[in-house]
Amino acid sequence: MSHPSFPRAALACAALLLAASAAQAEPGRLLASQCAQCHGTNGAGPGFDELAGKNANDTYDELIEMKYRSNIEGIMDRQARGYTDAQLRLIADYLATLPGNGGD
């Protein structure tokens, strides 16, 4: 419910401004959305390991380890090979900013 004394027009304008800021894509958002098919929208499940809100360096290090591991141990070792190191950095940094559900 909106505050009764607050003008509705102002709320509408605020919504529009939020729309405008939403339109300014954050770096990594589109790349990280490619994780969602298996890790849930915004990396917050359901599915495989929750990715949202984890330490960015830990996520990045894990992705790099999977990408350069010589023997394929699972499907993520292949998926990690689908991105440049710079893209993996953007993905890890972006996922770290998301709230998640506190799951593993």
Partner 1 sequence: MSQFDRRQFLKLAGALSAMAALPKGVSAATVAPRVVVVGAGFGGATVAKYIRMWGGNVKVTLVDANPNHVSCILSNLVVTGDLPLSSITLNFNSLKTNHGITFMQGTALSIDAAGNKLTVSTKTGNKVLPYDHLVLSPGIDFVPAAGTWNPTLTPHAWVAGSQTTLLKNQLAAMRSGDTFVMTVPAAPYRCPPGPYERACVVADYLKRKGRTGAKVIVLDANSGITAEPEAFTEAFEVTHAGWIEYYPSATVESVDSNTKTIVTSAKTVSNAKVLNYIPKQRAGIIAQSLPLNSSGFVAVNPLTYVADGFTNIHVIGDSCAVPASDGKGVPKSGHMANSEAKVCADAIVRALSGQAPDEDIATSSACFSPITNTTASWLSANFIYGDIFDVNGVVKGKGMHRVDIGEAPSNNINQDSFEDMYKWSESLFADTFI
Residues that bind partner 1 (CB under 8 A): 1-3, 6, 10-25, 29-31, 33-34, 36-41, 45-48, 72, 74-75, 78-79, 81-84, 87, 90
Q: How far is the CB of 46 from partner 1 (least distance, A)?
A: 5
Q: What is the DSSP letter of 8?
A: H
Residue 85 and residue 31 in contact, taking contact as beta carbons nearer than 8 Å: no
Q: How far is the CB of 54 from partner 1 (least distance, A)?
A: 17
Classify residue 35 as exposed, middle or buried by CB count within 10 Å of its CB (0-12, 13-18, 19+): buried
Q: How far is the CB of 48 from partner 1 (least distance, A)?
A: 5
